[in-house]
Amino acid sequence: MMKSILVMIMLTAVLTLSAVTQDVLVKEKNITLEFENIHIKDIKFIDGNKIEIEHAKKADVTIVKEKGKVIIKAENTAKIDLLLPTEKIYTLIEDGAKIEFNESRVTIFEGGNKIVEFRDGGLFVTDDSETVEISSEGIIVNDGDEYVEVSSRGIIVESPDETQHITGFWGQLLGGAINFITRHSVGWIGNNPGFIIKHIINDDDYAGGVKMNFDFSDGDKITKEFHETFNPKRSCKLNVHNRNGKIEIKSWKEDYIDISAILETNRSEEEFEKIEIKILDEDGCTIKTKILEKNPKVSVNYEIKVPNSVKVNKIHSSNGNIQIINCEGEMNLNTSNGRIEVLESKGSFNAHTSNGRVEFVHLNGKAEAYSSNGSIRVVRTPGFKKGVTSNGKITLEIEEKMKNDIYLSTSNGSIKISLDPSLDLNINASTSNSRIDLNGIEITTSKFSKDSISGKINRGGKKITANTSNGNIKFYKLEK
């Protein structure tokens, strides 16, 4: 776990200055910022292509613009307000660490590797093969071999030596309490990249770490409720398009669709006027978060109940989790930053997320899971075909006859396969920088080494192909 992360951001009073404004036109997408004798009062993000610098009339602030670089300096220490265009990506270099930021995230790199990221109200830390996430999802620690989660679901520990799922009442109570405290500690800071960058720039002793202060309040969050019902057409295919927020869909016994949503913003109520929730007669029935004005600072969290006759089709969110419970349909599920969970459902399932976990539990139908930065867990899903992630652990449990060949691939993570040893299977597994453990599973091999194995279990049958570059591959007998 990363030892170099310091926890502190000092809250300072902001003094009002009689100010003059200087600006500089920046056409480049990526801008490097340098400061000399500058103290930041505030950083805000604005539309346009001009960086604006406000300072006291008596402050002698000069601006030097080179290609892709802006240097702001003063003879003596000068306090400034910095207004940065929203469509740019900004870079700072501090003591060998590169800090990259925009209005929605702050990422810190050391030695070319991303080690810390603040985004979506959360803190994400990577150190070697270990990742730590503190966000609305809970506290999640994953080092390839071991996985620990403390969340409202309870306390979950998975390792080669033990598996514990404390998900009953007391587990959920304790896990939820711990999660509440920690996510509120970093949540407000994670939504304010300008606040973080201001203190990095102002801290003369910065040495590659981030200092932040715990805040247990929700700040000035404003919410608005939305509720509507409608009767779907026969053979309706449900589509949901959200821009920022979670989507939860579950079936119920009623014959109409029930839509509840919570709109949230950290700005003013006027921000809600920049979006509209539309229910459209497209492809059967479509629910859409429609953008009325550019760059609204609003999240929309949906809870949708559907009759059994409604088929779930295309579900999309740019920043938020997707959860499907006890539904049917040919499902295409996509989110850029969030977890995808599909439970107790029928049909076909294709799940894609850039930053989050994918979890399939007890599905009937063909299923594929893809994540760029997250683990994949598949339980009791005989139609599962493919699981691919760049940075995350893959866990597969097979207790009945497979319907397809299975392909598993991760670049940085372990693969754990638990199976009924009486099944007839073919196995092809390889790892570049670790080992393969069979743990008592009997395989008739045609190729065998510590990092590669090919062969069959019992009479052979559907094939499991498992590949990882940096992580163990371990087989276990699934206890019935």
HEC per residue, 206-255: CCCCCCCCCCCCCCCCEEEEEEEEECCCCCCEEEEEECCCCEEEEECCCC
| Nearest in space to 384 (alpha carbons), one of 401, 402, 399 | 402
pLDDT band at residue 168 under the 50/70/90 scheme:
low
Type of residue at 393: K
From CA 386, how far away is CA 416, in angstroms rounded? 14
| Nearest in space to 295 (alpha carbons), one of 316, 318, 315 | 318
**Mean pLDDT calculated for residue range 313-340:** 92
What was the pLDDT predicted at 366?
Answer: 97
What was the pLDDT predicted at 175?
Answer: 60
Cβ contacts of 18 within 8 Å, gap of 6 or more: 56, 57
| Nearest in space to 260 (alpha carbons), one of 212, 213, 286, 226 | 226
Instruction: Report CA torsion sign: 136, 138, 142, 145.
Output: negative
**Above 80 in pLDDT, residue 332?**
yes
Number of neighbours of residue 156 by Cβ within 10 angstroms: 19
253: which 2 tokens? 């016994």
Point out the least confidently predicted range of 202-206, 256-260, 271-275: 202-206
pLDDT tens for 212-261 read 333 333 456 799 999 999 898 878 899 999 988 999 999 999 999 999 99
- Name the average pLDDT for the chain: 82
Helix and strand numbers (H, E) in the chain are 2, 40
| Nearest in space to 202 (alpha carbons), one of 19, 10, 30 | 10
pLDDT band at residue 17 under the 50/70/90 scheme:
very low
The number of C-alpha atoms within 13 Å of 151 and in the hemisphere containing its C-beta is 16
Q: Can you name the residues that pair with 126 across neighbouring β-strands?
A: 131
From CA 448, how far away is CA 305, in angstroms rounded? 51
